[in-house]
Amino acid sequence: MAIWKRPPSIAEMHARNTQTVNGLLGIKIIEVGEDFVRAEMEVDERHVQPFGILHGGVSVVLAETVGSLASMLCC
């Protein structure tokens, strides 16, 4: 059973986020199911800290992005 109050649109989600930090970091929504939103982000030099591993803040931005987009569909 779908938990969304309005139909999800991946195109609409991308349109809202192209001029934001999500667009800057390359976060892409790839799938929306009945009760989940799935995103991906290819990690490159923009996303790593000086030691070459993923910056923790980038992980938080990815998680917050998916959570916020999902919550918008529930309202």
Q: End-to-end CA distance of the chain, in Å? A: 16
What Rg, from alpha-carbon coordinates, does the chain have? 13
Of 31, 40, 42, 64, catalytic: 64
Handedness of CA 14, 21, 25, 60 (dihedral sign): negative
Residue 40 is a catalytic residue: no
- Catalytic annotation, residues: 64
